Amino acid sequence: MRPRGNCSSLDLVSQYMCPDQLKCLLFYCVRIALFYAAVLAGLLHRFPVTFFQHIAGQIRNHKSRGSRGSKDSKQGETITFADVASIDEAKKGLEEIVEFLRNPDKYVRLGAIPPRGVLLEMDGFDSNSAMIVLGATNRSDVLDPTLHRPKRFDRGVMVETPDRNGREAILKVYVSKKELPIGEDVDLRDIASMTIGFTRYFLP
C-alpha cells in the first residue's frame, strides 16, 4: 500500500491507471489542446484583428468615439493586421500565434514550444458587438471573479460527465463513423455500464 501524506497527482494517477490508460489520457489531452488551437485559429481567421481590437484597444476606442475623426468599422468589413497602428508589440504577439497556427511544422522543427493558450486583457464589449470570446477551464473555482463580470465571461456552460445512456450513444457514434466491425456477442450497452466515470475522451 502506498504511504499516505503528500502525494502528487501523478502518483495518484499511476496508482489507479495502467500504462495503456496513461497513454490514452496523454493522447486525448493532446487532442483537446489541438481542438482549442483549431478554435483559436478559426476565430483569428474569421476576424483576425477585430478579435484583438475589441479586447486590447477598447479603452482607446471609447475615448476617441466622440471625436469627428474616429470612424467605426462597417459591419462585414474585412480588417487585417495592417489596419492597426500604435500597438505594435501586442500586434506582433498575435501575428506570431497566427503564423504558428498556419505553419506549425516549421516551428516544431526549430524546437519551439507550441502556445497552449492566449490571454488577452478585456474591458468589456459594446452591447451591440457581434462577437463572442470563448474560454475553457477545468478549474472554474480558481478563476478571478472579475472574469464573470457583465460584458466579460458572463455565461457559463458546464460539460458534465456522460451517464450510461450518454456513454452508449458516444460509443455508437464512434462505431458508426469508423465502421468498426463488432462481434455479435459485443453489447455496447454493457460496455457503457462498465465505464462509469469515463468521459467522451476516454471512450473511443
Write the pLDDT tens digit of every residue in 7-50. 445 554 455 556 666 666 677 677 777 777 776 666 555 555 45
How far is C-alpha 99 from the geometric centre of its chain's CA atoms? Answer: 18
Domain boundaries, the chain: 15-65+74-156, 160-204
Say if CB 166 and CB 196 are below 8 A apart.
no
What is the model's pLDDT at position 5?
47
Burial 135-149 (b: 16+ CB within 10 A, else e): eeeeeeeeeeeeeee
How far is C-alpha 174 from the geometric centre of its chain's CA atoms? Answer: 22
What is the rounded CA–CA span in Å between residue 106 and residue 100? 8
What is the rounded CA–CA span in Å between residue 31 and residue 33? 5
How many Cα neighbours within 13 Å face the side chain of 188?
17
What is the rounded CA–CA span in Å between residue 80 and residue 103? 19
87 has a pLDDT exceeding 50: yes
pLDDT in tens, 132-168: 777 788 888 888 888 877 777 778 888 888 888 988 8
What is the model's pLDDT at position 40?
67
Q: Residue 185: is it exposed, middle or buried by C-beta count within 10 angstroms (0-12/13-18/19+)?
A: exposed
What is the rounded CA–CA span in Å between residue 81 and residue 92? 9
Cell numbers that stand for 30 in this block:
493532446
Q: What sign does the CA torsion over 135, 137, 140, 141 have?
A: negative
| pTM, rounded to two decimals | 0.37
